[in-house]
């Protein structure tokens, strides 16, 4: 390919909104342009690398026996109503109508579409296991698209789905996917941190996220030297207290604590104010928060204050849920409630702190005075930490009043006791007791044992060996192609530009004649011809530009091998050309005659490493 025929609009200036290296460099190196917020067009150079990432993903999926299909991006809304996600997905789902007023969805993911296709074809256990995938456009109306294609509105995802007759078969495919993912990221030159996230409470029984470290990552990773790695959303830690495992124990521990009594706390609402006022530490408080949960699947028929709640079905075959329910959540004063864990425990699609009006209505007291003693209007969910508290301060459900000497088991009881705490750096590892530390990370891929969520709601079944009808279990596995590409640049660049790993470089070699004329033109053309014949991808910088400009663009676009063809080198005996490996300091000379063979050898060797 000749540069003069290419469309590589490199930029000196950085777009104002580009704050991370990959975003800046994808624009500056002419890989990408923006159409609107979160909508990007890949230009030819960017697309070449994009296709290479896709190819790697495809090869690794094919290698484990997953089968590619090409469904549509626009999917009937009916399927999403069946699964219940038409309502549950919220505003990130782009819903559209056609001229006949039918509902459609622009796929943000494709569990429904794939499950519908399989449902119609599946009859016998002999067809299982089955793993299908696509590499296709997705749309999510993200609240805050940012960092270029890292978080776009339209992007390409490889999404695979698998169906199984039993748990063992699901686990085999899940493990194979995990191995394929490690291979994909390795081949892209990426160092990933696989983060195990057991999501049992969410209906599945296994989940792993593949993260890259990033200062602007959206995920906090909780890590330990021993290898423990979890997303903070799911992380747990060793408890730093002795939990009371039974009410009898708790009561016995509380025996030496004086009876609880009221303390006047005029205008004292926050834990900090209370600490100042009582001259004590947050650890002695039981913090009680009122949460509003949406679409709660958990059975609340025996929960305090819930007898009048009724279950409804958001759509025809979706599970029954309580559209709205309130919970009191108590945790030791120095700890924070992890809302992802809470939502998982309640099987709710969303949880958020209740409004002031709801808090006042449910606790009969102003905001800031909630407490577990005497609370009957709603179910009390407590963190394990609270079970160890036998001389605590709590809100008294009355304005300007708290209680002291409050003991769990003696003065109040809980409806549920769960791990609700947000793990922090410095907490102890639950595996080895080592000190946990954090890093920020970006999710590139996710593998997930879905279980029966979709197969049940969408009525998928097959006949087992005994002719009995069974529901298959399911897994799903996603990788963001754009985000993976951007992450490669994040990991491989310097001040001058991109340093592509050879596996995903848009070209392997850029040939730069000092002047595209005379002997230099002749030598450059021959080199390009020989390299191309050997299967090497070459860009020939035939532009009538100063060498400095050409070198800068070669650095910026990050093509692994730069070969400079100059008249000085060509006039030596034997004639030589100068080679520079992008990212390395020194250049070296190759005999012009042998340069194509030598470079081909090097590149093929390097490619083997990926
Ligand atoms: P995030 O938490 O970053 O929003 P997610 O949990 O919504 O990710 P999944 O639904 O698991 O992501 O999608 C699978 C993959 O698709 C992600 O790992 C990521 O690589 C990619 N992806 C998701 N959302 C976007 C986006 N807005 N832009 C680019 N890639 C995305
Ligand atoms: Mg998301």
Nearest-ligand number for the alpha carbon of 484: 1
Helix/strand/coil for 471: coil
Q: Of all protein residues, whose CA lies closest to atom 23 belonging to ligand 1?
A: 480
* Å from CA of 99 to ligand 2 middle: 30
What confidence tier does 201 reach under pLDDT thresholds 50, 70, 90?
A: very low
Give yes or no for residue 478 CB within 6 A of ligand 1: yes
Q: What is the pLDDT of residue 349?
A: 86
Helix/strand/coil for 298: coil
Q: What is the pLDDT of residue 14?
A: 86
Hey, which bits of 362-472 come out as E strands?
Answer: 380-383, 392-398, 401-406, 416-418, 437-451, 462-463, 469-470
Q: What is the pLDDT of residue 87?
A: 86
Question: Where is average pLDDT lowest: 55-59, 61-65, 277-281, 593-597?
Answer: 277-281
* Å from CA of 467 to ligand 2 middle: 41
The predicted-structure confidence for 499-535, as pLDDT tens digits, reads as follows: 999 999 999 999 999 999 999 999 999 999 999 999 9
CA 527 to chain centre: 44
Helix/strand/coil for 489: helix
Give yes or no for residue 92 CB within 6 A of ligand 1: no
The predicted-structure confidence for 257-277, as pLDDT tens digits, reads as follows: 999 999 999 988 788 898 999
Q: Of all protein residues, whose CA lies closest to atom 19 belonging to ligand 1?
A: 480
Helix/strand/coil for 449: strand
Give yes or no for residue 446 CB within 6 A of ligand 1: yes
In 10 A of CB 84, how many CB atoms?
24
Q: What is the pLDDT of residue 60?
A: 98
* Å from CA of 435 to ligand 1 middle: 30
Span 121-126, average pLDDT:
97
The predicted-structure confidence for 2-29, as pLDDT tens digits, reads as follows: 999 999 999 988 888 899 999 999 999 9
* Å from CA of 143 to ligand 2 middle: 10
Mutate which of 160, 185, 446 for ligand 1? The one with the most ligand atoms within 8 Å of its CB, which is 446
Give yes or no for residue 140 CB within 6 A of ligand 1: yes
Q: What is the pLDDT of residue 204?
A: 43
Task: State both tokens at 544.
Answer: 């009538």
Angle of helix 44-63 relative to helix 481-491, nearest 10 degrees, comes to: 110
pLDDT at residue 440 tops 70: yes
The predicted-structure confidence for 362-402, as pLDDT tens digits, reads as follows: 999 999 999 999 999 999 999 999 999 999 999 999 999 99
Mutate which of 136, 483, 490 for ligand 1? The one with the most ligand atoms within 8 Å of its CB, which is 483
The predicted-structure confidence for 82-101, as pLDDT tens digits, reads as follows: 988 998 888 999 999 999 99
What confidence tier does 202 reach under pLDDT thresholds 50, 70, 90?
A: very low
- Do residues 233 and 209 touch, judged by C-beta distance below 8 A? no
The predicted-structure confidence for 221-232, as pLDDT tens digits, reads as follows: 999 999 899 999
Q: Of all protein residues, whose CA lies closest to atom 16 belonging to ligand 1?
A: 480
Mutate which of 216, 478, 479, 481 for ligand 1? The one with the most ligand atoms within 8 Å of its CB, which is 478
* Å from CA of 519 to ligand 2 middle: 55
CA angle 227/187/210 to nearest 5° reads 40
Q: Of all protein residues, whose CA lies closest to atom 21 belonging to ligand 1?
A: 480
d(CA 355, CA 382): 20
Q: What is the pLDDT of residue 531?
A: 98
Q: Which atom of ligand 1 is nearest to the CA of 152?
A: 28
pLDDT at residue 317 tops 80: no
pTM, entire model: 0.86
Nearest-ligand number for the alpha carbon of 145: 1
Q: What is the pLDDT of residue 516?
A: 97
Span 274-285, average pLDDT:
92
Give yes or no for residue 138 CB within 6 A of ligand 1: no
pLDDT at residue 203 tops 70: no
Q: What is the pLDDT of residue 593?
A: 96
The predicted-structure confidence for 450-463, as pLDDT tens digits, reads as follows: 999 899 989 999 99
pLDDT at residue 36 tops 50: yes
Q: What is the radius of gyration, based on Cα positions, of the chain?
A: 30
- Percent of the chain past pLDDT 70, that is, above it, reads 98
Q: What is the pLDDT of residue 316?
A: 63
Question: Where is average pLDDT lowest: 116-125, 234-243, 465-474?
Answer: 234-243
Q: Of all protein residues, whose CA lies closest to atom 2 belonging to ligand 1?
A: 443
Span 471-477, average pLDDT:
97
Strand partners, 511: 540, 563
Q: Which atom of ligand 1 is nearest to the CA of 157?
A: 16
Q: Of all protein residues, whose CA lies closest to atom 1 belonging to ligand 1?
A: 443
Q: Of all protein residues, whose CA lies closest to atom 27 belonging to ligand 1?
A: 151
Give yes or no for residue 481 CB within 6 A of ligand 1: no
Give the side-chain half-sphere CA count within 13 A for 429.
17
Sheet of strand 509-513: strand arrangement: 538-540, 509-513, 561-565, 576-581, 587-591
Give the side-chain half-sphere CA count within 13 A for 355.
3
What confidence tier does 199 reach under pLDDT thresholds 50, 70, 90?
A: very low
Average pLDDT, the chain: 94
Span 58-87, average pLDDT:
96
The predicted-structure confidence for 543-571, as pLDDT tens digits, reads as follows: 999 999 999 999 999 999 999 999 999 99
What confidence tier does 215 reach under pLDDT thresholds 50, 70, 90?
A: confident
Nearest-ligand number for the alpha carbon of 218: 1
Q: What is the pLDDT of residue 369?
A: 93
What confidence tier does 205 reach under pLDDT thresholds 50, 70, 90?
A: low
What confidence tier does 318 reach under pLDDT thresholds 50, 70, 90?
A: low
Q: Is the peptide bond before 574 cis (omega within 30 degrees of 0)?
A: yes
Residues in the chain: 610
* Å from CA of 504 to ligand 2 middle: 25
Nearest-ligand number for the alpha carbon of 209: 1
What confidence tier does 248 reach under pLDDT thresholds 50, 70, 90?
A: confident
């Amino acid at each position: 390919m000749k540069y003069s025929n290419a469309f590589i609009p490199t930029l000196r200036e950085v777009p104002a909104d580009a704050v991370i290296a990959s975003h800046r460099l994808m624009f500056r190196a002419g890989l990408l342009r923006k159409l609107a917020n979160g909508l990007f067009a890949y230009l030819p150079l960017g697309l070449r690398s994009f296709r290479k990432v896709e190819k790697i993903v495809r090869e690794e999926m094919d290698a484990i026996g997953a089968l590619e299909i090409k469904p549509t991006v626009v999917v009937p809304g009916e399927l999403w109503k069946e699964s219940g996600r038409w309502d549950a997905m919220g505003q990130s789902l782009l819903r559209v109508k056609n001229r006949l007023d039918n509902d459609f969805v622009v796929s943000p993911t494709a569990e429904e579409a794939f499950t519908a296709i399989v449902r119609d074809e599946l009859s016998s256990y002999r067809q299982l296991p089955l793993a299908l995938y696509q590499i296709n456009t997705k749309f999510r109306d993200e609240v805050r698209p940012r960092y270029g294609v890292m978080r776009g509105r339209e992007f390409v995802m490889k999404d695979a789905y698998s169906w199984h007759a039993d748990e063992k078969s699901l686990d085999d495919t899940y493990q194979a996917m995990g191995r394929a993912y490690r291979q994909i990221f390795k081949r892209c030159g990426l160092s990933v941190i696989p983060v195990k996230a057991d999501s049992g409470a969410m209906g599945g029984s296994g989940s792993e996220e593949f993260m890259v470290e990033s200062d602007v990552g959206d995920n906090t990773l909780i890590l330990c030297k021993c290898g423990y790695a979890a997303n903070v959303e799911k992380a747990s830690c060793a408890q730093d207290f002795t939990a009371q495992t039974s009410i009898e124990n708790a009561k016995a521990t509380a025996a030496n604590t004086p009876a609880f009594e009221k303390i006047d706390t005029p205008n004292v609402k926050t834990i900090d104010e209370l600490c100042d006022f009582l001259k004590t530490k947050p650890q002695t408080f039981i913090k009680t928060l009122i949460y509003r949960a949406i679409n709660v699947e958990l059975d609340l028929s025996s929960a305090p204050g819930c007898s009048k709640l009724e279950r409804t079905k958001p759509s025809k075959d979706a599970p029954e849920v309580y559209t709205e329910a309130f919970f009191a959540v108590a945790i030791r004063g120095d700890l924070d409630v992890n809302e992802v864990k809470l939502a998982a425990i309640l099987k709710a699609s969303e949880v958020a702190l209740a409004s002031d009006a709801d808090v006042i209505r449910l606790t009969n007291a102003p905001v800031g005075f909630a407490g577990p003693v005497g609370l009957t209007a709603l179910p009390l969910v407590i963190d394990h930490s609270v079970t160890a508290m036998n001389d605590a301060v709590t809100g008294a459900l009355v304005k300007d009043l708290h209680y002291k000497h409050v003991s769990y088991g003696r003065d109040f009881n809980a409806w549920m006791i769960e791990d609700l705490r947000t793990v922090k750096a410095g907490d102890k590892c639950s595996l080895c007791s080592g000190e946990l530390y954090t890093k920020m990370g970006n999710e590139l891929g996710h593998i997930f044992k879905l279980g029966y969520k979709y197969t049940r709601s969408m009525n998928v079944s097959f006949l087992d060996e005994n002719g009995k009808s069974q529901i298959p279990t399911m897994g799903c596995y996603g990788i963001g192609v754009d985000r993976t590409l951007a992450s490669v640049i994040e990991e491989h660049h310097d001040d001058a530009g991109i340093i592509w790993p050879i596996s995903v470089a848009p070209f392997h070699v850029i040939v730069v004649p000092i002047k595209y004329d005379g002997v230099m033109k002749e030598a450059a053309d021959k080199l390009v011809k020989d390299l191309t014949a050997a299967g090497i991808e070459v860009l020939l910088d035939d532009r009538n530009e100063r060498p400095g400009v050409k070198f800068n663009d070669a650095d910026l676009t990050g093509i692994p091998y730069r070969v400079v063809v100059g008249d000085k080198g060509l006039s030596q005996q034997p004639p030589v050309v100068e080679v520079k490996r992008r990212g390395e300091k020194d250049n070296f000379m190759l005999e012009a005659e042998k340069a194509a063979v030598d470079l081909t050898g090097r590149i093929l060797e390097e490619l083997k490493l990926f």
